[in-house]
Chains A and B, each alone.
Chain A
Amino acid sequence: MKVTIVDYKSGNISSVINSFKEVAKDKVTIAVTSDLNKIKSSDKIVLPGQGSFKSCVDALNKIKGLTDSLNEFAITSKKPLLGICVGLQMFADVGYEETKTKGLGWISGKVSKIDNQNGKYKLPHIGWNQINIVKDSKIFKDIENNSHMYFVHSYEFVPNDKKVISATTDYSSNIVCSVEKENIFGTQFHPEKSERIGLKIIDNFINL
């Protein structure tokens, strides 16, 4: 099996690479590339994302044919894909960080700034927070409810169809932190930085 981490030159993905390699050991090949053919021939794809919604979408669009290849992989072929942080946010139709930017449109909804209640809550939402699992998700196999995960973000994904939500976390409001829609998975938190429990989520995805 081949799992590909999409390297589209947006932010720091070394932690994602390290964690997947740690979990995969020698059983699974972990590739890191933006090569369209290699992406197409993968069994699973990881879409990381750091920085702003706009910078990530711009970086995706800069690589000719990449969005089409991702669409083909996730929507047409329905192969498993995991978005992490802004990688998850880009599933939305639209994001409002910096300026209004069109997303991949895979899961209907928007990405907007977390309401910090007039400065009562610090942003970014940084640190370990507990997840409330609201739906049985394949990537949560053997993950206990209220497990701690590492977060760092100021924007949140608000999907229109609440049925896609697999977990939320409580901060200034109830924030969507994990989604599952058919073959598409996403976490707002960083499983690659969430210790053993985070690595278990990565393991679950690899073993889907």
Chain B
Amino acid sequence: MLKNRIIPCLDVKNGRVVKGINFVDLKDAGDPVEQAKIYSDGGADEICFLDITASNENRDTIYDVVEKTSKKCFVPLTVGGGVRSVEDINKLLNCGADKVSINTAAVENSKVVLDSSKKFGSQCIVVAIDAKKNGDKWEVFTHGGRNNSGIDALEYAEQMEKNGAGELLVTSMDRDGTQVGYDIDLMSKISSKVNIPVIASGGVGNLDHLVDGIKLGKASAVLAASIFHYGKHSVKEAKDYLDSKGIPVRI
């Protein structure tokens, strides 16, 4: 039986972890490679890096991080943030990323998804959708949630599936950082609309939220950042909890 996945996400800036696990025994709490290794050793089903490096001159730091991580972590590694072109994707894959998530570039130029999925295969193309509720629909935001594209998130999800996305990483802008739980309505509507797996993101504050994301939100995988950082919960605790609620997980 296919298991639901738990994916810890690390925010990386200028090659350093911004929010990370606050373990005292860590030699270097800012080292993404070391943090990723802790997660993969702890049973994470995949690892996600979100590169939030703002300046262009430091953009290359992420390649070095990915290269080092992929030599130590033998679970799938997804990298997103600042991915603009097929060439960016190519570089990340060559450094050892298994999947690349595309956000703003997919909205601005749908050819990026079309071309990259053709070139590298759908299995490594994740389209990240940042959605915010407006009335009775959700709109797609770009540039880290700063710009409203006005595009309907449900229609966009369907279009991205057609363009060759292998998975959708759906983040609720309303919930991100609030720790009150995923936007279940958004997750389940998108998941029902498309035939590709949906990864739920944005708003996790406790382990029940992970359960809801899968049971009610119909997500195939759940991504979370802050509950795994600062040692609030380990991936193992999350898995045991999901297991106790009857959700199939890899233990």
Q: Which residues of chain A have a CB within 8 Å of any CB of chain B?
A: 11-12, 14-15, 18-19, 21-22, 50-52, 55, 116, 119, 122-130, 148, 150-154, 170-171, 192-196, 198-199
Contacts and interface: CB of A to CB of B under 8 A. Distances in A.
A12 B96 CA distance: 8
Contacts, number: 99
CB-based closest 9 A-B pairs:
A51-B121, A12-B93, A128-B250, A14-B96, A152-B123, A148-B250, A128-B3, A129-B2, A50-B121
B30 interface: no
A116 B93 CA distance: 29
B68 to A, nearest CB: 10
Interface in B4-57: 4-5, 40, 45
B76 interface: yes
A98 B93 CA distance: 23
What class of interface size applies to chain B in its complex with A?
20 to 34
A18 B5 contact: no
Given A129-B3, A193-B76, 15 more contacts: A12-B97, A14-B93, A14-B96, A15-B96, A18-B70, A22-B71, A51-B119, A51-B121, A55-B121, A127-B197, A152-B123, A154-B122, A171-B2, A194-B75, A196-B74
Contacts of A12: 93-94, 97-98, 120, 124
A193 B123 CA distance: 13
A188 B114 CA distance: 25
Majority SS at the chain B contact face: loop
Task: Among A126, A150, A153, A154, find the residue whose CB has the most chain B CB atoms closer than 10 A.
Answer: A126
Contact of B74 (A125, A126, A128, A195): A195
A18 B94 CA distance: 11
A12 B99 CA distance: 10
Nearest to A147: B250
Nearest to B100: A12
B103 interface: no
Nearest to A116: B195
Nearest to A172: B2
B160 interface: no
Task: Among A130, A150, A154, A199, find the residue whose CB has the most chain B CB atoms closer than 10 A.
Answer: A150
B183 interface: no
B85 to A, nearest CB: 16
A128 B5 contact: yes
Nearest to B192: A119
Contacts of B1: 129-130, 170
Contact of B124 (A50, A52, A119): A50
24 contacts: A12-B120, A14-B70, A14-B93, A14-B96, A15-B96, A18-B70, A21-B71, A22-B74, A51-B123, A55-B121, A116-B195, A122-B195, A123-B196, A124-B197, A125-B2, A126-B123, A126-B220, A127-B197, A129-B1, A129-B2, A130-B1, A148-B3, A171-B2, A196-B74
Contacts of A192: 74
A24 to B, nearest CB: 13
Contacts of A119: 195
B131 interface: no
A56 B151 CA distance: 35
Given A18-B96, A50-B120, A128 B2 contact: yes
Contacts of B130: none
Nearest to B218: A122
A137 to B, nearest CB: 21
Nearest to B117: A51
A119 B161 CA distance: 13
B95 interface: yes
A122 B197 contact: yes
Contacts of A50: 120-121, 123-124
Task: Among A19, A195, A199, find the residue whose CB has the most chain B CB atoms closer than 10 A.
Answer: A195
Contacts of B98: 12, 15, 193
Nearest to B5: A127
A192 B71 CA distance: 11
Contacts of A194: 74-75
Contacts of B203: none
B166 interface: yes
Contacts of B238: none
